[in-house]
């Protein structure tokens, strides 16, 4: 019997308990990390491309990374919030087939977990602004990630355990039905990590197939079973996710981002970006900028 391991871990960025008002009103927010909220007073709303949800006391909400959403508080609301990155051993996000806002009813244990996480991570507040355009910068991500390396190891382990507990509340059995990779060679699973680390380089199906000594058609079928996508579609998705991250957190031009994410030409980058996101890069940047004005 093979040993079962947890394929996903989470890297804490921010945790805080805040009072929000009508200034908390941001549209077309798309972050490279996860957002998780627990509401204990007041009301607000979240919406994405699929549906809208009311933020109400006694409930938790999860926004997976790279999920376009709108945030609003019409009058008054108190919330615990957590921002964190996902680290998947196999390169597949836990919510890769569920990129939408999720709502679950909180238990007393959940509420205690939020409070404990804040207690053992007292320097993770966002003191600059509640405007994502202000705090979503690479330099700040690095600043908060450095705190993980300085944290006492026992508290670091406890932080990981709390994040796993809270994220587990949003996982449903059918979500994991395609996650059994027992019949897929480990060298194919390892390709996901290789792709993630080499998005800026030339990546072709034939090249990847040669690396794992498989026929390209066979690799494509295994890839579809593993990720739900053909290799080229998966590569394009990951490249566009990286491009969105760079567009949010840096001042690189579209040409520089196109090159950094492995596209041969800017027109090809624009074409794939629109196919994946339904927006051109220029329109996406415009929406992201206007959302915070």
Q: What is the mean pLDDT of residues 64-72?
A: 84
Q: What is the mean pLDDT of residues 18-29?
A: 88
Contacts of the segment 248-257: beta carbons below 8 A, 24+ positions apart:
248/30, 248/31, 248/32, 248/136, 248/288, 249/32, 249/136, 249/137, 249/138, 249/141, 250/138, 254/281, 254/282, 254/285, 257/281
- Average pLDDT for the chain: 85
Q: What is the mean pLDDT of residues 16-40?
A: 89
Would you state the pLDDT for residue 292?
46
Token pair in block for residue 279 = 């927006």
Delineate the domains of the chain, giving CATH numbers in brackets.
8-176 (2.60.120.280), 186-290 (1.10.10.60)
What does the pLDDT look like over 105-152, one tens digit per residue? Answer: 999 999 999 999 999 998 888 866 666 665 555 666 777 778 888 899
Could you give the percent of the chain with pLDDT greater than 70?
86
Q: Is the pLDDT of residue 102 over 90?
A: yes
Q: What is the mean pLDDT of residues 9-13?
A: 90
List 46's β-bridge partners, or say none. 53, 71
Tell me phi and psi for residue 172, to 5 degrees. -115, 150
Sheet holding 102-105, edge to edge: 8-21, 76-88, 34-42, 59-63, 102-105
- Rounded CA-CA distance 69/46 in Å is 7
Would you state the pLDDT for residue 136?
57
Strand ranges (DSSP E) for 43-154? 44-48, 52-55, 59-63, 69-72, 76-88, 102-105
Q: What is the mean pLDDT of residues 33-37?
A: 93
- Rounded CA-CA distance 202/207 in Å is 9
User: Would you put residue 61 in left (φ > 0), alpha (ψ -120 to 50) or beta?
Assistant: beta
Would you state the pLDDT for residue 218?
92
Would you state the pLDDT for residue 140?
66
What does the pLDDT look like over 263-287, one tens digit per residue? Answer: 999 999 999 999 988 889 988 877 7
Q: Of 248 and 54, which is predicted with more confidence?
A: 54
Q: What is the mean pLDDT of residues 78-95?
A: 84
Would you state the pLDDT for residue 7?
80
Lowest mean pLDDT of 34-43, 154-163, 261-270, 277-286, name the range: 277-286
Q: What is the mean pLDDT of residues 21-49?
A: 89
Q: How confident is the model at residue 288 (pLDDT cuts 50, 70, 90)?
A: low
């Amino acid at each position: 019997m093979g040993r079962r391991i947890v394929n996903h871990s989470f890297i804490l960025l921010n945790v805080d308990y805040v009072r929000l008002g009508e200034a908390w009103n941001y549209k077309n927010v798309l972050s490279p990390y996860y957002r998780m909220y627990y509401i204990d007073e007041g009301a607000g709303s979240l919406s994405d491309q699929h549906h809208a949800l009311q933020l109400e006391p006694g409930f938790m909400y999860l926004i997976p990374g790279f999920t376009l959403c709108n945030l609003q508080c019409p009058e008054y609301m108190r919330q615990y919030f957590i921002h964190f990155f996902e680290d998947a051993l196999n390169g597949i996000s836990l919510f890769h087939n569920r990129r939408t806002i999720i709502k679950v009813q909180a238990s007393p244990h959940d509420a205690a977990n939020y409070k404990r996480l804040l207690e053992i991570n007292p320097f993770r507040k966002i003191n600059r602004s509640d405007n994502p355009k202000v705090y979503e910068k690479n330099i700040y991500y690095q600043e908060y990630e450095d705190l993980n390396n300085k944290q006492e190891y026992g508290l670091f382990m406890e932080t990981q355990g709390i994040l796993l507990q809270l994220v587990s509340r949003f996982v449903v059995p059918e979500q994991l039905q395609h996650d059994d990779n027992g019949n897929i060679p480990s060298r194919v699973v390892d390709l996901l990590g290789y792709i993630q680390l080499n998005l800026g380089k030339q990546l072709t199906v034939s090249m990847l197939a040669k690396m794992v000594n498989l026929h390209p058609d066979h690799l494509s079928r295994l890839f579809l079973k593993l990720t739900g996508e053909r290799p080229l579609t998966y590569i394009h998705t990951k490249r566009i996710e990286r491009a969105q991250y760079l567009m949010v957190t840096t001042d690189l031009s579209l040409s520089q981002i196109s090159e950094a994410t492995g596209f041969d030409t800017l027109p090809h980058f624009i074409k794939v970006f629109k196919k994946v996101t339904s927006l051109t890069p220029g329109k996406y940047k415009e929406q992201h900028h206007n959302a915070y004005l």
